[in-house]
Structure 1
Amino acid sequence: MWDFIQDQILGMKWLNSLIQSGLQTMGADTGTPWGGSIQFFLYDVVKITVLLCVLILIISYIQSYFPPERSRRILGRFRGIWANIAGALLGTVTPFCSCSSIPVFMGFTTAGLPLGVTFSFLISSPMVDLGSLFLLTSIFGLKIAVIYVVLGLVIAVAGGVLIEKMHMEDQVADFIRNSRKSADAESAAMSFRDRIAYSRRQVTETLKRVFLYILIGVGIGAFIHNWIPETWVQNVLGSDNPLGVVLAALTGVPMYADIFGTIPVAEALLGKGALLGTVLSFMMAVTTLSLPSMVMLNKVIKPKLMTVFVAICVAGIIIVGYGFNLFQNLLM
């Protein structure tokens, strides 16, 4: 039953077969690089878009119960590492990319939440949102998806705790520290109809924001899958290169995409012989440390704290990558 759910519902293998049959009926040879690229592109764009819309609708409905003021009050009830865990978990049901997480991070910091807690949220929000769990399951299987999410949360919690222990509150931008105040009063309770309307708006707005990156990511994935020789990928990101994880993590930093745009690239790289941990390190780096988000964050925190934040994320991502590579044979 689970194999059916993973392959036919989340993975939509039936759609891939349908697209292949349709292309062959029109005279296209899906065994050639061009035909295979078209099949890969159509299948992944439709699959990711459908899953994206369904997941955002569900997650946004859940998120409607947690406006910023209520989230701040919930987080304020926890102390110590439990506060970091709560912040990291809250990040899984909030924005879908690093850039959209930063305004929420600013709001929490302005409201006076501990700095470590806000950074646990900032790390987990783009790296391990609930959408990533379902999309990773559709590609890599439930076991790998769950481990990825758990390790992402561990990085978020550990990073937040370390930043808290370093007492770097003075490294937050002065305009944020000087404007700390209570958040606005929570809006009136939403009806079921209001929540559905809010969720639909979130679907539309998020799709507008990320659809271009889905097309770019799937296009890159289709190119890698059908045009790049396996030996090239194996030489750079395979077991013969001990620095593959480091290279993948550093390559992902200057890029900008969310989990929905990176998965097709990861899928193609894995299919060409890249190691699992190397691929997942690339995904984590792209979603957590993209250059645009770093530019935005640079306006909010000072260079010393920025350096610590990036160092913690890169170190955690690299450790996770090598860990997945070490146990790949047990996971796949």
Structure 2
Amino acid sequence: MENKKRIKLIAAVALILPALILLYYMLQPLVDYLTYSLVGLNAETHLGAAINFFIYDTIKILILLFLISTLMGLVNAYFPIDRLRIYLTTKKMYGLQYFFASLFGAITPFCSCSSIPLFIGFVKGGIPLGVTFAFLITSPLVNEVAVAMFLGLFGIKATLIYAISGILLGTFGGFILGKFKLDRYLSDWVKEIQAISEQESEEWEIDRTPFIDRLPTIIHDGWEIVRKVLVYVIIGIAIGAAMHGYVPENFFTAYLSADKWYAVPLAVIFAVPMYANAAGIVPVIQVFVAKGVPLGTAIAFMMAVVGLSLPEATLLKKVMKWKLIGIFFGTITVFIIILGYLFNLIL
């Protein structure tokens, strides 16, 4: 019976995976046929352009999101969260712990607010504050949601630059903040817990469950990620579609064009009061670029929206004093602005 289930699973994956890849590459002609031929919308009208944009980007991003989420599920299945926490507290890493924490933040599908409970767990578990900052910085900036959407909207070069720079931002940001010895600015609640918590040192058993038996859970978890961010994807793409179809070309370029030296810091400052996850903001960034905003400026805006938000600051108040929150936000704001200028030179 088990063998029959495995055969059915392998057959399903063998059929569905190529079908999704084929659909991805044939998507634009299919959507054009649906919107312009079957429905009869005019490609030259605002409504026609907006609806075509919405349908195409929604399907494309959901396909990429499911595939990449499932792929990252394979990573998480063989490298659980708690294993990293134990490893970082018991091994001498020679500074590489900042990079590994940042990399771990990149492969976990969290927005800034949902990253914070794990951040709190790191602090409570005795992981150095700089390492926890490395995770917190990168986690909302780079994950499979953002990478999948970036890949579909901006191509491989921009995606690699965005992902690598986000990981390096977390690495260097965590390293620098760690050197400031900021533990004194943690909240009294955290200090009390740290004082009574026991250092966990048990060895982890390797899970020897066969890959084929893990695959249904991994696929299910990948679909759950898609399901949880579906609303944000639709809202973000709907906003992007409306902007794509109706907002005049010069609306953005008037303030955020390449010839204005203040465009990058202005974009970051405007973004901080806002809040969205990557699924909601990346489609909007695509429209920014289409309207003439330099890609580096648009990425800086996106990083500030997902990585520096007022809800995040409110949640962090549970574990930090306001001075530490200000230092954290200020440091990352400067880094994002610098990256924005660098992106504009490279891209």
Q: What TM-score, normalized to structure 2?
A: 0.85
- Provide, for residues 145-181 of structure 1, a one-character-per-residue CA deviation record: whole Å limited to 9, x for no partner: 2122222122111111111111111222222222233
Match of 1:99 among 98, 113, 137: 113
Question: Secondary structure in 2 aligned to 1:92?
Answer: helix
The 2-side partners of 1:14 and 1:211 are apart by 22
- In the TM superposition, residue 301 of structure 1 has moved relative to its aligned partner by 1.3
Is the 8 Å Cα contact of residues 56 and 203 (structure 1) preserved in structure 2?
yes
Change (3 A) 1:40 1:187: farther
Return 217-226 or 89-98, whichever deviates more: 89-98
Verify: 1:203 aligned to 2:222, yes or no.
yes
Match of 1:294 among 286, 307, 313: 313
Return 87-96 or 105-114, whichever deviates more: 87-96
| Count of aligned pairs | 321
Residue aligning to 1:16: 28
Residue aligning to 1:5: none
Residue aligning to 2:284: 265
- In the TM superposition, residue 140 of structure 1 has moved relative to its aligned partner by 1.8
Residue aligning to 1:67: 80
Verify: 1:79 aligned to 2:97, yes or no.
no
Change (3 A) 1:226 1:149: same
Change (3 A) 1:153 1:100: same
- In the TM superposition, residue 187 of structure 1 has moved relative to its aligned partner by 8.0
Q: Calculate the aligned-residue CA RMSD, in Å.
A: 2.4
Question: Secondary structure in 1 aligned to 2:293?
Answer: coil
Is the 8 Å Cα contact of residues 86 and 201 (structure 2) preserved in structure 1?
no
Q: Which runs of 5 or more structure 1 residues have no equivalent in the other structure?
A: 1-7
Question: Secondary structure in 2 aligned to 1:274?
Answer: coil
Question: Secondary structure in 1 aligned to 2:42?
Answer: coil
The 1-side partners of 2:229 and 2:201 are apart by 29
The 2-side partners of 1:206 and 1:291 are apart by 24
- Provide, for residues 174-232 of structure 1, a one-character-per-residue CA deviation record: whole Å limited to 9, x for no partner: 22222233459768837346633443443344334322211111011111211111111
Residue aligning to 1:222: 241
Is the 8 Å Cα contact of residues 109 and 145 (structure 2) preserved in structure 1?
no
Change (3 A) 1:30 1:281: same
The 1-side partners of 2:201 and 2:43 are apart by 56
Letter in 2 for 1:133: V
Verify: 1:42 aligned to 2:42, yes or no.
no
Q: How does 1:117-266 map to 2 (within 5 A)?
A: 117-180=131-194, 181=197, 182=199, 189=207, 191=209, 192=211, 195-266=214-285
- Provide, for residues 21-44 of structure 1, a one-character-per-residue CA deviation record: whole Å limited to 9, x for no partner: 111222111221001100011111
The 2-side partners of 1:131 and 1:145 are apart by 12
Is the 8 Å Cα contact of residues 30 and 36 (structure 1) preserved in structure 2?
yes
Is the 8 Å Cα contact of residues 224 and 268 (structure 1) preserved in structure 2?
yes
The 2-side partners of 1:57 and 1:200 are apart by 6
Is the 8 Å Cα contact of residues 187 and 320 (structure 2) preserved in structure 1?
yes
Query: Which structure has the greater CA radius of gyration?
Result: 2
Is the 8 Å Cα contact of residues 10 and 135 (structure 1) preserved in structure 2?
no
- Provide, for residues 59-89 of structure 1, a one-character-per-residue CA deviation record: whole Å limited to 9, x for no partner: 1221122223211133232434211111111
Is the 8 Å Cα contact of residues 134 and 171 (structure 2) preserved in structure 1?
yes
Change (3 A) 1:125 1:241: same
Residue aligning to 1:4: none
Change (3 A) 1:251 1:300: same
Question: Secondary structure in 2 aligned to 1:301?
Answer: coil
Change (3 A) 1:286 1:13: farther
Letter in 2 for 1:74: Y
Q: What TM-score, normalized to structure 1?
A: 0.89
Change (3 A) 1:84 1:10: farther
Letter in 1 for 2:33: S
Percent of pairs identical after alignment?
36
The 1-side partners of 2:305 and 2:208 are apart by 35
